[in-house]
Structure 1
Amino acid sequence: MSDSKQQQEQALGKVRDRIDEIDREIHRLLNERARCAQSVAEIKTRGGTEEAVFYRPEREAQVLRKVMSRNEGPLPDQEVARLFREVMSVCLALEQPLDVVFLGPEANFTQQAALKHFGHSARCKALDSLDAVFRDVEAGHANYGVVPIENAEDGAVNHALDLFSRFNLGICGEVELSTHQHLLMTDPAELERLDVIYAHPFAFNQCRHWLEARCADVKCVEVESNAEAARKAAESSSAAAIGGDVSADLFGLQLAQSNIEDQPDSRTRYLVIGRQAVGASGQDKTSILLMAHDRPGALYELLEPFRKRNISLTRVESRAAPQSAWDMLFYVDFEGHADSPEVAELLQELESGSVELKRLGSYPKAVL
């Protein structure tokens, strides 16, 4: 072995020894944090008569924001926060595993949003309708539900808005997700032999231009879900599926081509629904439903209290109120928490006016 090669090996050996030391310290601290989580569970359940609340959205949002603010690199802020998100998920599962339902089918972007928000230690289950998600959470069969509420292409998911008027549930959090589509295969080295692509029609729509440019001669087969596409692709080395990260994880597929969607900046917003009120985190939103009669100037009257208090609106959706004595239903998101004096004053004024108001909850702004 040459002198330079020997010197290189010695230098690498020292760095690897240091990595091993750091790994042991990380491991020790992870277990110490887990033991602290168990102590939290013991304190919360000791002698209590009310049901203990283990998941605190405002507390987790504050922790993740601190992680990002103190990060000095070289790891990006978002990646460090995702690592801590998983650590918190594992530790919370030691206190009490969370049951989370989401609008299925399995392996869709709503499941990806649920995992992004709660981490992979949450027990996530796909349900076949928004109604079923709301029913399971209200009945206590699940701790939380995750539902899509808007995206850049489709606007608000109107049925979800209707369900908020029917069910006695609140919003506990929000998730913002970049909806990237990937070409998934068992072995990306077999890309040249690709003869069929499976995907949900919506996925084919999102990737039409890429497919026309790169895979014009490949057979495209529509299936009912991302999960079914991934399952079929996993059966053949010459087949591929279009799907997100969750599809790849669930079916052991690899990314043959990443981010093949025609609009790479497409984002979808999801809401976390539950039965608990959420405390202030310092960076919060509040959501309400307003029911009013359809008459000239109605919307102006609803928005005027926000303007005079300089409260920023982040979303306003309107539609005909279903099965109601009122004519119009307005879904409104705005900045601030219901416990703050200006928001409390705003809600009091709205409730005293000629509308019916339903408070959907205050919750932390999306962190990741």
Structure 2
Amino acid sequence: MSDELLNLRNQIDRLDEEILARLAERARCAQRVGEIKHGNIYRPEREAQVLRRLADLNGGPLPDVAVQKIFREIMSACLGLEQPLKVAYLGPAGTFSESASRKHFGAAPNVLPTPSIDEVFRAVESGNADYGVVPVENSTEGAVGGTLDLLLANPLKVCGEVKLRIHQNLLSRAEGIGGAKRLYSHAQSLAQCHEWLNRNLAHLPRIPVASNAEAARLAAEDPESCAIAGEAAAELYGLNKLATNIEDDPNNTTRFLVIASHDAGPSGNDKTSLVCSAQNRPGAMHALLEPLARHGVDMSKLESRPARSGLWEYVFYVDIQGHQTDAAVAAALRELNERAAFVKVLGSYPVAAI
């Protein structure tokens, strides 16, 4: 071993010792914060501020996404020293919803798989979970209607968002696809991989199941089958990846919302979600949107959804930039309340990190 290599390894050992000592010091500070705040030290806005600050300070060579991932896990572990969070998600284990939960909260929380989006809301509302993670829209397939309906009907607030790049894989117990007789997957994933499947597996019957994780479980039990699912499901069920990144859109992304009994305070880069309905008169939609434009509030999303109050009546889901306590946003919301037949602010929360 050369002297230069030995010196570098010794330097790395010393740096590791310094990092460990600093981590212990940080953890003790976090514990003290928990004592002052009586155990509840998780604040979405504070975490977002920390991650953004570190990305701004990062001079490389590690990319921002790596730095933020490392510090997400540090914060998660420090939180776990007090009372590990309980996070409900759309299960079973191995779904993209679980991956989104881990991306947002790190590895320390206890994650609770539930059989439906309704059950995620119920777990949080009943206090069996501190937070819930639910899919709300996909860049290819559009909005998740069930989540939108539950946000309207439920008192829970949105306190965060997660954007997860969705990479689909063809999985099987077999080493190749020659002997495959059937393909399992969630209907949305089948749609996201439609063109690839038509080019490569047009002969295989496609069997929709409740989730990609369920598809992977079935493929693990059935050697004559394959499944479309993510990396986590492949690892969980010990399946071979026969093809990777088979989604038709390489930028395929699903947006998830974090729900809780509270929303988040202002972080400096926030989004506010709301739902409203227009009065039944000419120009009603213009009247709804005009206050946003006049106060300089940027609208990033407008989604209509049939209302349950009557035939051909609609509610509108709106995302705007800024926190509801910001002066311009607050003024626009006050005027919107005066003009709309119905307004419900779903929550203000930090814009998703990388």
Q: Is the 8 A contact 1:110 1:147 kept in 2?
A: yes
Q: 1:354 to 1:313 in 2, by over 3 A?
A: closer
Distance in 1, Cα, partners of 2:276 & 2:208: 40
TM-score (norm. length: structure 1): 0.86
CA positional deviation for 1:322: 1.1
Query: Do the aligned partners of residues 261 and 301 (structure 1) sit closer, same or farther apart at CA in structure 2, a change above 3 Å counting?
Result: same
Cα distance in 2 for partners of 1:218, 1:289 equals: 42
CA contact (8 A) 1:152 1:267 kept: yes
How far apart, CA to CA, are the structure 1 residues paired with 2:153 and 2:208?
35
Q: Secondary structure at the match of 1:367?
A: coil
1:342: how far off? Answer: 1.2
Q: CA deviation at 1:61?
A: 0.3
8 Å CA contact 1:199, 1:243 repeated in 2: no
Give the alignment partner of residue 126 of structure 1, picking from 95, 113, 119.
113
| Structure 1 outlier segments of 4+, above 6 Å | 216-221, 235-239
Aligned to 2:22: 29
Partner of 1:200: 185
Matched, 1:109 2:75: no
Residue in 2 aligned with 1:16? Answer: 9
* Structure 1 counterpart of 2:305: 319
Match of 2:78 in 1: 91
In structure 2, what is the Cα distance between the partners aligned to 1:201 and 1:358? 32
**Which residue type is aligned with residue 136 of structure 1?**
A
How far apart are residue 328 of structure 1 and its match? 2.5
**1-side partners of 2:183 and 2:80: how far apart?**
35
Contact 1:185 1:253 in 2 (8 A): yes
Q: 1:259 aligns with which of 239, 242, 245?
A: 245
Equivalent position SS for 1:352: helix
After TM superposition, the score normalised by the length of structure 2 is 0.89
Instruction: Work out whether residues 194 and 238 of structure 1, in 8 Å CA contact, stay in contact via their aligned partners in 2.
Output: no
Whole-angstrom distance in 1 between the partners of 2:78 and 2:102: 15
Which residue of 344, 347, 361 corresponds with 2:330?
344
Largest Rg, 1 or 2: 1
1:166 aligns with 2:153: yes
**2: distance between equivalents of 1:37 and 1:249?**
33
Question: 1:19 deviation in Å?
Answer: 2.0
C-alpha distance in 1, partners of 2:183/2:25? 46
Q: What is the aligned counterpart of 1:301 among 271, 281, 287?
A: 287
Q: How many residue pairs are counted as aligned between the two chains? A: 352
| Counterpart contact for 1:293–1:326, Cα < 8 Å | no
Amino acid at match of 1:200: S
**Residue in structure 2 matching 1:329, options 315, 337, 349:** 315
Alignment match, 1:284: 270
Which residue in the other structure is 2:257 paired with?
271
Percent of aligned pairs sharing the same letter? 46
Evaluate the alpha carbon distance shift between residue 124 and residue 359 of structure 1 in structure 2; reply closer, same or farther with a 3 A threshold. same
Match of 1:3 in 2: none
Offset, 1:254:
6.2
> Quick one: structure 1 residues 224 and 278, their matched pair in 2 at CA, closer, same or farther if it must change by over 3 Å?
closer
Relative to structure 1, the CA distance from residue 356 to residue 205 in structure 2 (aligned partners, 3 Å threshold; closer, same or farther) is: closer
